[in-house]
Amino acid sequence: MAKLNTNSNVYTIVYASVMVIIVAFLLAFVASSLKATQDANVARDVKGQILSSVNLRGEADVDAKYAEVITENADGTFTANINGEQKLIVPLKGAGLWGPIWGYISVNKDGETVYGAFFNHEGETAGLGARIVEEWFQTGFNGKKIFMGDEVALGVYKAGKAPSNLSADYVVDAVTGATLTSDGVRNMLQKCIAQYADAIKAFKGGESKSCDAKPCCGEGQCEMADSCCADSCADCASSCDECGACKAEKECGACCESDNTNK
């Protein structure tokens, strides 16, 4: 058998074509045979991330816990039921230093206080920006306030660099050495929460907060007008919403007036 001339053009072209075809089939085979497992992993990972945002980290059976706790809403948010209390989970998407970052943040029924937060990233610097996935950073959001007026004031700042009008309730410590990723987290929070501000307001169940501020007629009741008392603050707010006429004539009580001024 004559020795093959491995330097001839024909041999080179045939060799390259055969190699490429073999590798293409091999990769296609590997990718398609593993796809189902990978997709299941990705879906489970997303569920785990959503659970992390309501401080349920490291659940052993993510699927079961997710089915038990989380309800998906039509507008892209999620409602979580934690020990009988409802939390609204808002998805976040933004840009870090090297690539996309994303997360979920859960809000208490008061539409104001953060219950928990979760962040993740695609390719932030290991040990610097990548630390936004770590628990100590995320739990730093627990109990912080989101809105100052109608603006999203919650943000991530380097110690001492926060705007002076922000109280500590709105400020989360940035990650050391990861200024750009931290800025990305702040921009993402402010942009995405603002987009869902209406959903958060609706979740709040009307203006129960301004009701709380007013003296109630009786225990658990709310002043609506001189002669009317609603059974609960939630009732008061929803009935205010329903009676557009009385709003216009300012017949409703103090709580509805403040509802009007808010709008």
Partner 1 sequence: MSLFSKENGEVFKSPLNLNNPVAVQVLGICSALAVTSQLKPAIVMGLSVTVITAFANVIISLLRKTIPNRIRIIVQLVVVAALVTIVSNILKAYVYDVSVQLSVYVGLIITNCILMGRLEAFAMQNGPWESFLDGVGNGLGYAFVLVVVGFFRELLGFGTILGFQVVPDCCYMENGGLYLNNGMMTMPAMALILVACFIWAHRSINKEK
**Gap between the Cα atoms of 159 and 166, Å rounded:** 12
Indicate the burial class of 160 (C-beta count within 10 angstroms; 0-12, 13-18, 19 or more): exposed
| Pairwise CA distance, residues 242 & 256, whole Å | 11
By the rule CB under 8 A, 176 interacts with partner 1: yes
Smaller CB separation from partner 1, 33 or 227: 33
Of 17-25, 104-112, 146-154, 248-256, which part binds partner 1 (CB under 8 A)? 17-25
Using the minimum distance from each CB to partner 1, give the nearer residue, 20 or 67.
Answer: 20
Q: What string marks each residue from 85 to 124 as x (binds partner 1 by CB under 8 A) or -? A: --------------x----------------------xx-
41 makes contact with partner 1 (CB under 8 A): yes
Query: What is the SS3 assignment for 121?
Result: strand
Give the residue ranges of DSSP H helices in the chain: 9-52, 62-69, 135-139, 179-195, 197-203, 208-213, 233-242, 244-248, 254-262
> Which CB atom, from 46 or from 225, has the smaller least distance to partner 1?
46
Nearer of residues 15 and 212 to partner 1, judged by Cβ: 15
Q: Using DSSP, state whether 81 is helix, strand or coil.
A: strand
d(CA 262, CA 197): 14
Query: Which residues, numbered 191-220, are part of the site for partner 1 (CB under 8 A)?
Result: none
Count of helices and strands (H, E) across the chain: 9, 11
**By the rule CB under 8 A, 20 interacts with partner 1:** yes
User: Counting contacts by CB under 8 A, is residue 25 touching partner 1?
Assistant: no
DSSP class of residue 169? G
122 to 161: interface string for partner 1, x by CB under 8 A:
xx-xxxx---------------------------------
Interaction site with partner 1 (CB under 8 A): 4, 6-7, 11-12, 15-16, 19-20, 23, 26-27, 30-31, 34, 37-38, 41-42, 45, 99, 122-123, 125-128, 176-177
